[in-house]
Amino acid sequence: MRALIQRVIDASVTVDDCITGQIGPGLLILVCAMQGDEEASAEKLAARIGKLRIFRDDAGKMNRSLLDTGGKALVVSQFTLAADTRSGNRPGFSAAAPPDQGRALYEHFAHSLRDLGITVATGEFGADMQVALTNSGPVTIWMDTADRG
């Protein structure tokens, strides 16, 4: 699975003029299930993100995790993280998991974060979403559970 993680002061996702998920301080996590991913991939990614030390400690160093701070997570499905831009002007998305599998892994990822004790809000899988955020830092990190070359 792939994720783009942004440390935020606040973030929200809106579908059809209705807010479907909203958080205060924490992480906005854009996530994409890839071909070949399994539930173990979602669990591994959730565990890594929950323990990722990108929040400031009392000395101002990035030394605390989402679990340490009690921050929240806003998880948004983002199949375009699978974009292949190596040729032409139009990205290809064939590396993304099929929609049914993508939805199941997206939901399992959010559930795995909740199992760690993290409060999770979500977007709506497959919907046209508007995402708003105030990035803190800015801190933006790319993660992938597999070495895809």
What is residue 149's predicted lDDT score, i.e. its pLDDT? 44
Annotation marks residue 69 as catalytic: no
How do beta strands 62-64 and 55-56 pair?
antiparallel
User: Which residues of the chain are under the pLDDT cut of 50?
Assistant: 148-149
From the list 14, 55, 79, 109, the catalytic residue is 79
What is residue 146's predicted lDDT score, i.e. its pLDDT? 84
Helix (H, G, I), strand (E, B) or coil at 34: strand
What DSSP line would sit under 86-131, residue for residue?
Answer: SSSSS-B-TTBPPHHHHHHHHHHHHHHHHHTT--EEE--TTS--EE
Annotation marks residue 101 as catalytic: no
Model confidence over 114-140: pLDDT tens digits?
999 999 999 999 999 999 999 999 999
What is residue 148's predicted lDDT score, i.e. its pLDDT? 46
Annotation marks residue 79 as catalytic: yes
From the list 6, 14, 78, 122, the catalytic residue is 78
Q: Which amino acid is at 64?
A: R
Alpha carbons 36 and 128: distance in angstroms, whole number: 25
CB neighbourhood size of 121 (10 A): 20
- How far is the CA of 84 from the CAs of 66, 87, 148, in angstroms? 31, 8, 12
Q: Are 97 and 33 in contact (CB under 8 A)?
A: yes
Alpha carbons 27 and 66: distance in angstroms, whole number: 8
From the list 80, 130, 134, 140, the catalytic residue is 80
The backbone torsions φ and ψ at residue 4, rounded to the nearest 5 degrees and listed phi first, read -115, 120
Domains within the chain, CATH numbers bracketed: 2-85+92-136 (3.50.80.10)
What is residue 147's predicted lDDT score, i.e. its pLDDT? 64
How do beta strands 120-122 and 18-23 pair?
unpaired
Across the chain, which distance is largest between two alpha carbons, in Å?
48
